[in-house]
């Protein structure tokens, strides 16, 4: 993969990651608004036989807040990354070895953070749906029913919101893994170029030394 190809791939990946961050922020924020500030991730409940209502034991709001915060951070970072890469492409320059090293480390950390967020959303949503499906055949069927009047929540879009958030989180993770791979390739190339320059410098010094020695021997 040529240097320009790597830069273009990183730019496209960063822009896609920026867009995907909104696929997490927006639906999770709308979900919290519909659920009166509650977060369904890892929440559980039991169905009350008397009126068919779902009595919820709400989990911590941290899970939804965590997803929103990391999405904001990922969106901001991807925008900064796209700006830096765009400047290199416009000017026809390359990042230094140190800059490539930091890009590689940062993109790896962001891939891990995004994976953590994706797992929290997926597992937390599964935990909720596991109790919902004790009454409904599919989790999305609960969207059409007012299952929790006591908490004053609106369940009409919860499945749609969380499905979009899951998609955004996993696709973001794929983007950051791709950006990490491109950064790692650049880092390896920089390292190989530095080794080549060092090897050529050593060879020049050896040839120079041998040349000087030959001249000295000739004079003698």
3-state secondary structure 123-139: HHHHHHHHHHCCCCCCH
pLDDT digits (tens, 9 = 90+) for 181-202: 998 888 887 656 665 555 555 6
**Whole-number Å distance between alpha carbons of 78 and 82:** 6
pTM higher than 0.85 for the full model? no
**Whole-number Å distance between alpha carbons of 38 and 28:** 11
Mean pLDDT of the 51-56 span: 90
Token pair belonging to 2: 């040529």
How many other C-beta atoms are found inside a 10 Å radius of the C-beta of residue 131? Answer: 17
**Are the CB atoms for 158 and 27 separated by under 8 Å?**
no
pLDDT digits (tens, 9 = 90+) for 143-164: 988 888 888 899 989 999 999 9
pLDDT of residue 3: 54
pLDDT digits (tens, 9 = 90+) for 112-141: 999 999 999 999 999 999 999 999 889 999
Give the count of alpha carbons within 13 A of 73, CB side only.
Answer: 15
**Are the CB atoms for 154 and 106 separated by under 8 Å?**
no
pLDDT of residue 65: 96
Residue 217: pLDDT over 60: no
**Quick one: 86 exposed, middle or buried, by C-beta within 10 A (0-12, 13-18, 19+)?**
middle
Alpha carbon 78 to chain centroid distance? 9
pLDDT of residue 140: 92
| Domain range list for the chain | 3-193
pLDDT of residue 111: 95
Please state at what angle helix 158-219 crosses helix 3-34, rounded to 10 degrees: 150
The CA-CA-CA angle for residues 20, 37, 150, to 5°, reads 130
């Amino acid at each position: 993969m040529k240097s320009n190809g790597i830069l273009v791939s990183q730019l496209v990946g960063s822009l896609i990651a920026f867009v995907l961050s909104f696929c997490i922020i927006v639906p999770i924020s709308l979900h919290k608004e519909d659920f009166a500030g509650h977060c369904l991730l890892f929440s559980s409940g039991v169905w009350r036989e008397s009126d068919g209502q779902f009595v919820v034991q709400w989990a911590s709001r941290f899970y939804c807040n965590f997803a929103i915060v990391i999405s904001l951070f990922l969106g901001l970072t991807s925008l900064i990354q796209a700006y830096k890469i765009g400047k290199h492409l416009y000017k026809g320059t390359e990042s230094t070895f140190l800059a490539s090293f930091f890009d590689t480390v940062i993109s790896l950390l962001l891939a891990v953070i995004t994976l953590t967020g994706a797992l929290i959303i997926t597992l937390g949503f599964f935990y909720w749906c596991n109790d919902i499906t004790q009454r409904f055949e599919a989790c999305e069927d609960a969207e059409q029913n007012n299952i929790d009047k006591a908490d004053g929540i609106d369940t009409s879009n919860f499945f749609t919101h969380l499905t979009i958030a899951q998609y955004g989180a996993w696709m973001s993770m794929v983007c950051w893994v791709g950006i990490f791979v491109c950064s790692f390739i650049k880092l390896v190339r920089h390292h190989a170029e530095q080794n080549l320059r060092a090897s050529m410098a050593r060879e020049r010094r050896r040839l120079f030394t041998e040349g000087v020695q030959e001249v000295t021997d000739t004079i003698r």
